[in-house]
């Protein structure tokens, strides 16, 4: 018998002709009579599909199968699966809709296809439709349903799918529980993820990695470090994702000693040649305040890509060395590595932190002119920040208003921060209304406006903003400072007395006040947001979290040892002035990393040049 796939037909088939999940009629025409279905062996069609290796061939096979009336469920299921493998989920949906009673296997193919290619909403809609048809989800359905919930960060739907999982009796499957754990972690519910993890009888590297990355990306840095050590102790081999996550957490904590150990671990496990891991190690050193080690690693890394170059540019930027960032950028161009949007975000941010206004403007203009890159929102945000920090408030506001994309609250927030620096109350009040329209529940913008009023002793307005925060349910983020000692990270809050060495810490700060004032320290009491006596304000300033952490470092480390402190908020002006003088008194290098940049204090001076 002559195979049907060598016959010529004039079939007209449009695999895109469905709308709103309802199949439209397909028009076909044939110049020759069709061969009877009973004379066509299904195994030939199945065999041809099995050997199909391209989308073009699949489309031809699909057309011929349709033209010869081969409406067998297994054939159409294979067609749908192949379309999914060729990333044509829309065409797979056509095959799915063609069958009046698709199997659970075919439902799973479509759910998986949409989930795999990022169409999370469509995948979940199919999941609900599957259940409405009376079909029971199985161990092949749930992992992709959870993947969609994680992709959408929809914890409520994720919990509902979790209930279905329990009812269907699939909660003991290792792949399903791994997906459930990952969903909770990516939706920010690390406690629920940990409960799932603790109940698992079998924990592979995927489960461990999901917990570690979940902790890291939800800001649970200490938990990330602990869990990574537990994974190693259990004998599970680390993978790239777990190593990247623990490096991120280590950098966020500013734990240099632990970071050095992690670098040696990366070398031992062979990940030093992975460009992403090498870049993450470099970033970790940068965040731990060791720019020298970061640069040494950068120079020794072969095959540097645009991500690695951009990270080095950003490293110099957050340490206030904008001119070095420009040098690296020029080296990158000479190395024939093409910059992207992220690169320009890094270089513009570096110029902003160093007050390099003219250089930043030239870089911004060169994006489209020399590299054909249209500025995106982050690039405009950096440019607004550069203008604002440089005191060009009118120009910054004009740029915001003329942007081709709508400015978000963070861009307006940069301008509001500059109003605090330059004391422009009128502009601050005008743009604050705009910010609160865009993001009414962000505590930081309320606090910033409150700071501006407090600096002008406008206490009624300070109280009004405070009441607004209470009414909207926004809470000020607590200022915390971290310092590593003997591989343990110690945490301090404002006026914190929970540390075992609190008495010694407070006594040392009290002893330093006299020498500090003799060297010219004057408390900046406008940073205290309460209408209280000056003496009480000075006392409140003395026990800010970064001062407590520095005092702890002075007590516990040998003379001459650098002190490294990490703070989760922007360092206040009073602490900045005080730490400059403390560095001179104790003859120590004090490195403070706040939420925006590094400050290297030495002999009464700061690397930022009082520009931050």
The tokens for 241 are: 């994702």
Question: What is the arithmetic mean of pLDDT over 108-134?
Answer: 91
User: C-alpha angle 354/358/364, rounded to 5°?
Assistant: 95
pLDDT value of residue 455: 83
Residue 3 pLDDT greater than 70, yes or no: no
**Alpha carbon 139 to its chain's center:** 30
**Beta pairing, strands 480-485 & 22-23:** unpaired
- What mean pLDDT comes out for the span 393-422? 92
pLDDT band at 529 (very low <50, low <70, confident <90, very high): low
Q: Which two tokens stand for residue 399?
A: 């740029």
pLDDT recorded at residue 572: 86
The pLDDT of residue 458 is above 80 = yes
Cα 527 to chain centroid distance, Å, stands at: 31
Q: Check residue 530 and give its pLDDT.
A: 52
262-275 pLDDT tens trace: 999 999 999 999 99
pLDDT of residue 1: 33
pLDDT surpasses 80 at 50: no
Q: Does pLDDT of 30 surpass 70?
A: no
pLDDT digits (tens, 9 = 90+) for 183-227: 999 999 999 999 999 999 889 899 999 999 999 999 999 999 999
- Residue 507: name the closest of 561, 551, 559, 563 by CA: 551
Rounded to an integer, the average pLDDT of 465-480 is 86
Instruction: Give the per-residue pLDDT at 9.
Output: 25
Residues 481-501 have pLDDT tens digits of: 999 998 899 999 989 999 999
Instruction: Return the residue matching tokens 């959870």.
Output: 146
φ, ψ (nearest 5 deg) of residue 482: -120, 145
Residue 40: pLDDT above 50? no
Q: What mean pLDDT is predicted for residues 581-602? A: 94
Residue 31 pLDDT greater than 60, yes or no? no
Judged by DSSP in three states, 2 sits in coil
Element (H, E) at 530: none
At residue 477 the predicted structure's pLDDT band, cuts being 50, 70 and 90, is confident
Q: What is the mean pLDDT of the chain?
A: 86
pLDDT value of residue 43? 54
Instruction: Please report the pLDDT score of residue 14 as a whole number.
Output: 29
pLDDT at 7 over 50: no
Tokens of 338: 């093409």
Residues near 236 by beta carbon (within 8 Å), at least 6 away in sequence: 203, 204, 205, 208
Name which residue leads in pLDDT, 150 or 171: 150
Contact between residue 480 and residue 491 where contact means Cβ atoms under 8 Å apart = yes
- Distances 417 to 321, 411, 424, 439 between C-alpha atoms, Å: 22, 10, 10, 16
Q: What does DSSP assign to residue 32?
A: S
Using the predicted structure, report yes or no on whether residue 551 has a pLDDT greater than 70: yes
Query: Is the pLDDT assigned to residue 247 strictly greater than 60?
Result: yes
Compute the Cα dihedral for 222, 225, 231, 233 and give only its sign. Answer: negative
Please compute the mean of the pLDDT values over residues 451-463 and round it to a whole number. Answer: 88
Question: Residues 110-117: what's their mean pLDDT?
Answer: 90
Distance CA 607, CA 599 (A): 6
297 vs 533, residue with greater confidence: 297
Q: Phi, psi (5° rounding) for residue 458? A: -95, 75
Q: Residue 20 has what pLDDT? A: 30
- Residue whose structure tokens are 């049907």: 4
Q: Has residue 25 got a pLDDT over 50?
A: no
Contact residues for 362 (Cβ-Cβ < 8 A; gap 6+):
none
What single-letter DSSP state applies at residue 98?
A: H
Identify the helix (H) or strand (E) that includes residue 601: strand 598-602
Report whether pLDDT(15) > 80.
no
* pLDDT value at 179 more than 90: yes
Of 3, 131, 142, residue with least CA distance to 65 = 3
Mean pLDDT of 123-135: 91
Q: Are 348 and 365 in contact (CB under 8 A)?
A: no
């Amino acid at each position: 018998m002559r195979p049907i796939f060598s016959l010529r037909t004039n079939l007209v088939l449009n695999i895109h002709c469905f709308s709103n999940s309802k199949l439209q009629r397909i028009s076909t025409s044939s110049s020759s009579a069709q061969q009877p279905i009973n004379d066509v062996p299904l195994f030939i069609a199945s065999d041809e599909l099995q050997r199909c290796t391209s989308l073009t061939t699949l489309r031809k096979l699909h057309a011929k199968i349709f033209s010869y009336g081969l409406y067998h469920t297994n054939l159409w299921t294979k067609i749908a699966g192949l379309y999914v493998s060729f990333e044509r989920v829309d065409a797979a949906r056509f095959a799915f809709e063609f069958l009046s009673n698709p199997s659970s296997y075919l439902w799973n193919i479509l759910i998986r296809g949409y989930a795999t290619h990022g169409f999370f909403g469509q995948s979940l809609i199919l999941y609900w439709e599957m259940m409405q048809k009376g079909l029971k989800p199985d161990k092949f359905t749930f992992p992709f349903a959870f993947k969609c919930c994680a992709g959408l960060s929809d914890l409520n739907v994720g919990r509902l799918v979790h209930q279905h999982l329990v009812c269907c009796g699939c909660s003991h499957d290792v792949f399903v529980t791994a997906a459930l754990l990952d969903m909770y972690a990516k939706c920010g519910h690390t406690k629920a993820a940990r409960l799932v993890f603790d109940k698992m009888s079998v924990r592979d590297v995927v489960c461990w990695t999901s917990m570690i990355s979940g902790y890291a990306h939800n800001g649970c840095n200490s938990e990330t470090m602990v869990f990574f050590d537990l994974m190693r102790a259990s004998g599970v081999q680390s993978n790239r994702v777990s190593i990247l996550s623990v490096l991120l957490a280590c950098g966020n904590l500013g734990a240099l000693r632990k970071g050095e150990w992690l670098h040696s671990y990366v070398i031992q496990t062979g990940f030093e040649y992975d460009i992403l891991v090498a870049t993450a190690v470099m970033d970790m050193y940068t965040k731990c305040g060791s720019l020298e080690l970061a640069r040494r690693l950068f120079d020794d890394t072969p095959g540097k890509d645009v991500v690695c170059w951009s990270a080095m540019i950003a490293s110099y930027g957050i340490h206030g060395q904008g001119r070095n960032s420009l040098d690296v950028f020029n080296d990158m161009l000479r190395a024939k590595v093409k910059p992207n949007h992220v690169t320009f975000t890094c270089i513009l941010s570096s110029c902003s932190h160093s007050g390099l206004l003219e250089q930043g403007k030239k870089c911004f203009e060169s994006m489209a002119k020399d590299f054909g890159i249209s500025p995106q929102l982050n690039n405009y945000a950096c440019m607004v920040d550069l203008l604002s920090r440089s005191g060009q408030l009118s120009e910054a506001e004009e740029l915001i208003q003329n942007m081709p994309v709508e400015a978000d609250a963070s861009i307006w927030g940069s301008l509001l921060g500059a109003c605090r620096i330059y004391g422009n109350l009128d502009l601050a009040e005008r743009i604050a209304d705009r910010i609160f329209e865009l993001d009414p529940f962000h505590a930081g913008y309320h606090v910033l406006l409150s700071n501006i009023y407090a600096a002008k002793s406008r206490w009624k307005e300070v109280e009004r903003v405070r009441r607004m925060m209470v009414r909207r349910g926004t809470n000020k983020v607590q200022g915390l400072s971290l310092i590593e000692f003997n591989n343990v990270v110690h945490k301090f809050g404002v006026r914190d007395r929970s540390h075992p060495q609190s008495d010694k810490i407070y006594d040392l700060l009290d002893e330093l006040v006299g020498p500090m004032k003799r060297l010219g320290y004057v408390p900046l009491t406008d940073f205290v947001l309460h209408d209280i006596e000056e003496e009480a304000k000075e006392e409140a300033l003395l026990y800010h979290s970064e001062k407590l952490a520095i005092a702890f470092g002075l007590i516990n480390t040998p003379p001459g040892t650098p002190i490294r402190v990490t703070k989760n908020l922007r360092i206040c002006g009073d602490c900045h002035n005080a730490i400059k003088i403390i560095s001179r008194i104790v003859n120590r290098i004090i490195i403070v990393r706040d939420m925006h940049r590094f400050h290297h204090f030495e002999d009464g001076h700061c690397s930022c040049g009082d520009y931050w």
